[in-house]
Amino acid sequence: MALVTRSKSIAGQVEEILRERISRAVYTSGVRLPSESEFAGEFGVSRATIRTVLAKLSAEGLILRRQGDGTYVNDRIQEANAHLGGLWDFAHLIEGNGFEVSIQPILIEVVTATEDNARTLGIKVGDELLLMERLFFANGEPAILARNLIPVSLLAVSDQEIDGSLRIREIMKRYFHQEIAFVITEISPSFSGENSSILDVESRDCLLNLKMTFYSIDNQLLTIGDNYLNDDVLKPRLVQAWN
Amino acid sequence: MALVTRSKSIAGQVEEILRERISRAVYTSGVRLPSESEFAGEFGVSRATIRTVLAKLSAEGLILRRQGDGTYVNDRIQEANAHLGGLWDFAHLIEGNGFEVSIQPILIEVVTATEDNARTLGIKVGDELLLMERLFFANGEPAILARNLIPVSLLAVSDQEIDGSLRIREIMKRYFHQEIAFVITEISPSFSGENSSILDVESRDCLLNLKMTFYSIDNQLLTIGDNYLNDDVLKPRLVQAWN
DNA sequence: GAGTGGTCTAGACCACGCT
DNA sequence: GCGTGGTCTAGACCACTCA
């Protein structure tokens, strides 16, 4: 097995291959995977490199590792639709459920910051904000209503139409030249209220509300998100490995 | 700095020390931490060991690392009360908010499995189950109602009173001799209904419902949990690092 | 006892940021 | 150019499980 691509790290390439083998059930559940040494031999890399890959898959709950025994694929994970780290990537969440994703922008416009906005975003009242309202569909059904506010001052590309059907990570990268480094998410239940019609639910129904703040590696606040999930369509079911 | 304790791994000891320094603000925000090489020198360990520790802290969002620049403490994390991996550890969640935790058992009794129970737990209808209902208090206010069902067949210790004020991880270890390896959590909003009085909310209020299934490293289902959070008292606010 | 994963070392080279 | 973190290697020894 030759690892030729230069664009990705060796570990990244091995990870990709193993992920594919697991998803294709090359390694079936209940059967032991090759040992670290065998993998190292197969790919022609050091055992340490193999270990970083297996550690990542293990942290996501994709494989189970037992000292003195071996490594096994975790078939229970099929009951989940994402690992914990994937909670804020809505497209990934929907795909993990086996649904087709589509993102439809409802409105993208420039607004001025209210006092509330200014406080949470650390800007001045009246500063310009980009308001982006979008709807995530799962197999054609509206599943998530997502609202984002981004300071216009961060906009790197002028006079350009923003493609609202992209994922937030890609939007921040392409139009703001910003990489998302970490996210703080506040989870709470909320009555659907004024969002009921757009998500096609009763106004007195309960929705899952995720309030997210995205930061750059420089600790700069990039955007805040206010998101409503219709759990009739999509229930987040997350795997988390204990160590 | 001598690392003498034999009971913990070297990396574990270094991790503990760095965590303490960060929480004591020995490393203040905005100032660069010592480099990997400097840490390696200080603790007398290899750079690889230091890296595993820093990688863990970075994954939790506690520090920010920039190639070519350095490592910094992330002060925004104080706005959060747990990293994503801590979502299912309720005591940790409450403590992270700066509240005093106390766990009060409401009832612990043996029941027989309904058809519903049997299906999700993979046992037979009529099999014995341990039902544990507990209330988590944050600064004396009821914050979380937790119900667990555990197959009695797993009980390792006979004829012993179970201390219901322990964390589920400790209960599984002490009375069932089982280690929790991974958890699948389903997040949804839910009307409080019959749980309203016990959590001291209106019955038509919305609560956050977390349905958890706990598994051992052998992929055996250990217990299921049905938990209701009163978000007036406690809002889960989770940090997640992107890579 | 043989083989597994878990820990740790001491090196090397690279990509990146600063100044 | 220098120092930082990022990647990778080739070893060593240990703890554990299983036959």
Whether residue A182 lies within 8 A of chain B, CB to CB, comes out as: yes
**Does position B155 have pLDDT exceeding 60, yes or no?**
yes
Predicted TM-score (pTM) of the model is 0.91
Query: From B228, which residue of chain A is nearest by alpha-carbon distance?
Result: A189
Share of residues in chain B with pLDDT > 90 (%): 69
Q: Are B60 and B87 in contact (CB under 8 A)?
A: no
Place of tokens 């027989």: B112
Q: Specify the length of chain A in residues.
A: 243
pLDDT, mean of residues B119-130: 91
Report which of residues B160 and A165 the model is more confident about.
A165
Strand D footprint nucleotides (protein C-beta < 7 Å): 3-12, 15-18
pLDDT, mean of residues B86-100: 90
The two tokens of residue B63 are 């520090």
Give contacts of B 108-137 with A, CB under 8 A: none
Residues 6+ apart with CB under 8 A from B131: B107, B108, B109, B110, B111, B147, B148, B149
> What's the pLDDT score for residue B2?
46
Average pLDDT, chain B: 90
Stretches where chain A sits below pLDDT 70 are: 1-7, 158-160, 203, 243
Phi-psi region of B134 (alpha: psi -120 to 50; beta: other; left: phi over 0): beta
* Residue A3 Cβ < 7 Å to strand D: no
> What's the pLDDT score for residue B157?
77
Q: Which residues of A touch B80 (CB under 8 A)?
A: 184
Which of B72, B182, B236 has the CB atom closest to A242's CB atom?
B182
Terminal Cα-to-Cα distance of chain A (whole angstroms) = 31
Distance between A33 CA and the closest CA of chain B, angstroms: 15
Q: Whole-angstrom Cα distance, residue A130 to residue A128?
A: 7
> Which tens digit of pLDDT belongs to each residue from B55-75?
999 999 999 999 999 999 998
> What's the pLDDT score for residue A159?
57
* Residue B73 Cβ < 7 Å to strand C: no
- In sequence order, the β-bridge partners of residue B95 are none
**Does position B4 have pLDDT exceeding 70, yes or no?**
no
Q: Are A168 and A223 in contact (CB under 8 A)?
A: yes
* Residue A67 Cβ < 7 Å to strand C: yes
> What's the pLDDT score for residue A32?
93
